[in-house]
Structure 1
Amino acid sequence: MSFKLLQPFIGIVIILLTISCKVEPEAIEYGKDQCSFCVMNIVDKTHAAQYVTKKGKQFKFDAIECLVNDLNEKNEQDLAVILVADYGNPGNMIDAKTATYLISTGIKSPMGANLSAVVTLEKALELQQQYLGDIYAWEPLKKNTFPIINEIY
């Protein structure tokens, strides 16, 4: 078989490999996607989270505490993207490493850790005035262990 006949097939294979290795987050399908940690359906647009590995594998979570618990078993260096829902803008995902977090019993999260994320420290302070609670940055937050209160097992 001549090389000219193989060129279209080689091109198609290269395109398929390039497309299948995209390292960007997919939109969460609320009500359809399941949490990669606790296997509950993801329905809450104010507390969802996700990460994408450097190989492009997607992991979605119904609550930020599920993400944090899952990351305790992973090497964060293998991840390309880590996103959390912006409590102040439901459905909008923000960078987990730059977000500010509030743990407050006044704001209930799906798994009961009462953990929410916002874009800025100022937004977190506003929420804290309204709901009370403790404010965290990403690194200190990861040191917490969150018991899963609403276990489905």
Structure 2
Amino acid sequence: MRFNSFKLICIFLTVALVGCGDVRPEALTVGETKCSHCSMSIVDMRFHTQLITYKGKRYHFDAIECMEQFQKQKDLKIAKVWVTNYLDTKEFIPKDEAIIIHSDKIRSPMGAGLAAFKTHEDSSQFQN
């Protein structure tokens, strides 16, 4: 009886600890994943955006504007949203910390000209 209780406690603790890990953005291979909103292949990683719900469902987008339209259309409880740093495609920034600008100098996949930057200084050269 003691052994069975010990096994149950170990299983419970393992499941609880696995669920407590920090959720991070996933790196993608160019062209392998489609946008969850418009279904275009994600090929320009400067605009890649990710959203994860509280239930753990992850969505990928080819542009910030696709993610915003998707959010408006769906009633999701969102846990985290990351945007790619326009100047460093390997760096993800939490959307609420990013500097998102609209510029005619930026040609985003869907044409809205939205891009995310880490700092205001980084975005200054693209400001209209």
TM band (smaller chain): 0.7 to 0.9
Q: Aligned partners of 2:126 and 2:75: how far apart in 1?
A: 31
Supply the RMSD in Å over aligned alpha carbons. Answer: 2.4
Q: State the percentage of identical aligned residues.
A: 31
- Residue of structure 2 in register with 1:109 after alignment: 108
TM-score, normalised by the number of residues in structure 1: 0.68
Where in structure 1 are there 5+ consecutive unaligned residues? 133-153
**Distance in 1 (alpha carbons) for counterparts of 2:43 and 2:6:** 46
Q: Is the 8 A contact 1:33 1:41 kept in 2?
A: yes
- The offset of 1:5, in angstroms, is 3.1
1:50, 1:60 within 8 Å by CA — same for their partners in 2? yes
* Letter of the structure 2 residue corresponding to residue 60 of structure 1: H
Aligned partners of 1:54 and 1:32: how far apart in 2?
Answer: 25
Superposition map of 1:1-153 within 5 A? 2-5=1-4, 7-8=6-7, 10-12=9-11, 14-16=13-15, 18-19=17-18, 22=21, 24-30=23-29, 31-74=31-74, 78-128=77-127, 132=128
SS of 2:43's equivalent? coil
Q: Secondary structure, in 3 states, of the residue corresponding to 1:11?
A: helix
CA distance in 1, matches of 2:18, 2:48: 26
Is the 2:44–2:109 contact (alpha carbons within 8 Å) kept by the matching residues of 1?
A: yes
Distance between the aligned counterparts of 2:91 and 2:106, measured in 1?
18
Tell me the alpha carbon deviations over residues 20-55 of structure 1, each in whole angstroms, 9 at most, x when there is no partner: 575513413132222221222222210011122223
Give the partner amino acid of 2:124: L
**Matching residue's letter, 1:94:** I
**Gap runs ≥5 in structure 2:** none
Give runs of ≥4 in structure 1 deviating > 6 Å. Answer: none
- Mean Cα deviation higher: 50-59 or 11-20: 11-20
What SS does the aligned partner of 2:93 have?
strand
Count of residues in correspondence between the two structures: 127
Q: What do the CA deviations read for 1:75-117 (whole angstroms, capped 9, x no partner)? A: 67x3221111111112211121121222223221112222111
User: Structure 1 residue 15: deviation in Å?
Assistant: 2.0
Q: What is the DSSP-based 3-state SS (H/G/I as helix, E as strand, rest coil) of the residue aligned with 2:126?
A: helix
More strand by share: 2
